[in-house]
Amino acid sequence: MMAKTAGEATLKAVDERAKLVVTGPGIHTTRRPRSVLKKAIPGAQVQRTGFPSVFILEKEGEPVQIAQEVIQKCSEYIGRVTAVLAEVESKLEPIKDAAVRIASEQVGRDELFSFRLHKRGLHSLVGDTFEIEREIGGAIWQALQQKYGALPEVDLDDPDITVVAEVLGPNTAMGVSRKAWRATPGAPQ
């Protein structure tokens, strides 16, 4: 990773390994998702995070493409997959800044979007998760409105793209998850 100053997002260098945050289908599932990921994604390193059923998958390549591959091959054994595009301190302003930057780069003009915050461990985010999501989602909405000159559409239930903050104690992995990555029923896994 490149060096960062206080509150500044760590940006991915081109030659670095892609990183994903992958959750198991339930809080008490650890072995099966990890072994499935290792077998299904050649060359991937899958590490525990110290939080139940939360893993870091690293592999050479582009995070968004690897996330899509993970979902297509492993969807019945995992919960969520987030393609990590930045890492920041677990504080409101760095998370908000990274979320706005990522959304501005990843959310298309006509895409329905949402922002989700998943908090674990000891961190500096005080307050209700829903209120934090609303504040950061509002900042994303304003940035997209300014970028596209049109009113962005939020869909909390079935968005085309979700900007995700995976708080893992003092560090937060920021990224995206797309509806299009989901496995289609009846498609080969």
Unique residue bearing structure tokens 């029923």: 185
Domain with CATH 3.30.2130.30 in the chain: 86-178
SS3 state at 37: helix
Determine the pLDDT at residue 173: 97
Every domain of the chain with CATH number 3.30.70 lies at 16-79
pTM of the model: 0.85
What was the pLDDT predicted at 95? 98
Assess whether pLDDT exceeds 50 at residue 4.
Answer: no
Q: Output the CATH code of domain 16-79.
A: 3.30.70
pLDDT band at 133 (very low <50, low <70, confident <90, very high): very high
**Residues 81-131 pLDDT 10s:** 999 999 999 999 999 999 999 999 999 999 999 999 999 998 989 889 999
The tokens describing 45, both together, are 């390193």
User: Structurally, what CATH architecture does the domain formed by 86-178 represent?
Assistant: 2-Layer Sandwich (3.30)
- Sort strands 112-120 and 161-168 into parallel, antiparallel or unpaired: parallel
